[in-house]
Amino acid sequence: MACRDTFRKRAASAWVIQSAGSIVLGFLWVDFVNVFCATFKMLHASSGNHAPRMNKVLDAPQPSLFAPAHTHPRGLMQDVEPYYETPSGAAYLGDSRELLRALPDGSVNLAFTSPPYALHFKKEYGNVCKADYVEWFLPFAREVHRVLTDDGSFVLNIGGSWNQGTPTRSLYHYKLMIALVEDLGFHLAQECYWYNPAKMPVPAEWVTVRRVRIKDSVEHVWWLSKTPFPKADNRQVLRPYSADMLRLAQRGVKTTVRPSGHNITSSFDKIESGGSIPSNVLEDKIANEMLIAGNNSANDVYTMRCKESGMKIHPARFPAALPEFFVKMLTDDGDLVLDPFAGSNTAGAVAERLGRRWVAMELLDEYLEASKFRFGQ
């Protein structure tokens, strides 16, 4: 009897162990299938990040496996309340050195900004002096590097400056560029320039009084990236062909060799590509063509509403065409654009209009308050 009981107990335990084993094997199989699919998707998704964008469909951003594709930016900023938000973005009041810490690693596709420049005369929003500029800026830039996606870009609009007392130029912005590349590991994708003929002829002593220097009309727009192959597509910013170019195309181009040695072949007469490739000098002409609602004209909505309500107009806005050019070339629909020195939030308004998400950070509440006008608030 005892022997039969023991046998029954052993058979029962064997059955329990076998069933448990099958269940575990079942789970392991499901896990294996999940991991296999996930790895396949991940490899497929990352393969487009290492080469310049060539094909819109193949290289379209792949949805993340573990997060919703388009989280509202409010959901990305941990434990910080936005000052205001829109359907695609959120604006935060405070020191961006602190605020940036709330953004997760690798969450931003494009950081586009114009920080306070180093100037002789302090502006109301606290420019630092040239000698301290690099040290002041690097903590912001370190955070920007952290929050960028691997194929993301950091586009920095920065003005030059004169040395005090002599008609010579400061090197402060070049020193910054070298530190960004050599100390923080950014790559210099390309130097671009914003041609701004509306700049004042200063310093008056050298330019208009002694007449020994000429008017400075460009600002640097440095396109930096986290890897050598940031996501970019110049077909998104093609310019209309000039009348000369169209005439040439009608007549056809003779195969010839330029004095520089470049071959001009008949392939130059193909103009079906939809426009000419823009240069790295962003002229006012381009700005005017691209401008939908100019933000430094006297009659755009932002300026008019500031005037009507007696609010301060931001004194150092960039034209909407500047962020618009880079947002179009460097991001896709739904990507995240960050401006950590947002001022009147020109970049956020451009991102919203172009169907991108955005995060703006600004130190002074009067600027952020007035920036709501850009969103009809």
Ligand X SMILES: C[S@@+](CC[C@H](N)C(=O)[O-])C[C@H]1O[C@@H](n2cnc3c(N)ncnc32)[C@H](O)[C@@H]1O
Q: In this complex, which beta carbon is closest to ligand X, that of residue 173 or of residue 317?
A: 317
Collapsing DSSP states into helix, strand and coil, what is residue 54? coil
Please report, for residues 99, 153, 328, 340, 364, the alpha-carbon distance to residue 106 in angstroms, rounded to integers and kept in the order given.
15, 11, 20, 16, 27
Q: In this complex, which beta carbon is closest to ligand X, that of residue 143 or of residue 151?
A: 143
Q: In this complex, which beta carbon is closest to ligand X, that of residue 113 or of residue 225?
A: 113
Q: In this complex, which beta carbon is closest to ligand X, that of residue 66 or of residue 121?
A: 121
- Least Å distance, CB 111 to ligand X, is 12
Nearest to 216 by CA among 238, 233, 194, 235: 194
Q: In this complex, which beta carbon is closest to ligand X, that of residue 48 or of residue 341?
A: 341
CB 197 within 8 A of CB 281: no
- Least Å distance, CB 367 to ligand X, is 5
- Least Å distance, CB 54 to ligand X, is 32
Exposure string for 63-83, b = 16+ CB within 10 A, e = fewer: eeeeeeeeebbeebbeebebb
User: What's the rounded Cα separation, in Å, for the pair 274 and 240?
Assistant: 8
Q: Which residue has the tokens 């200063």?
A: 202
- Least Å distance, CB 120 to ligand X, is 16
Pairing of strands 357-362, 336-339: parallel
Name the phi and psi angles at 24, rounded to 5.
-60, -45
- Which contacts (CB < 8 Å, 24+ apart) does range 195-201 have? 195/281, 195/282, 195/283, 195/284, 196/284, 197/284, 198/284
For residue 203, cis peptide bond before it (omega within 30 degrees of 0): yes
- Least Å distance, CB 112 to ligand X, is 9
- Least Å distance, CB 349 to ligand X, is 9
Nearest to 328 by CA among 299, 298, 361, 351: 351
Say which DSSP state 209 is in.
Answer: I
Q: In this complex, which beta carbon is closest to ligand X, that of residue 149 or of residue 344?
A: 344
Residue nearest ligand X, CB atom distance: 343
- Least Å distance, CB 338 to ligand X, is 12
Pairing of strands 256-257, 263-264: antiparallel
- Least Å distance, CB 345 to ligand X, is 6
Q: In this complex, which beta carbon is closest to ligand X, that of residue 74 or of residue 97?
A: 97
Q: In this complex, which beta carbon is closest to ligand X, that of residue 140 or of residue 162?
A: 140
Q: In this complex, which beta carbon is closest to ligand X, that of residue 109 or of residue 346?
A: 346
- Which alpha helices (DSSP H) does 68-213 contain, by range? 73-76, 96-99, 133-147, 172-182, 204
| Cα 16 from chain centre | 59
Residues engaged in binding ligand X (CB under 6 A):
95-97, 114-116, 125-126, 314, 316-318, 341, 343-344, 346, 361-364, 367
- Least Å distance, CB 50 to ligand X, is 32
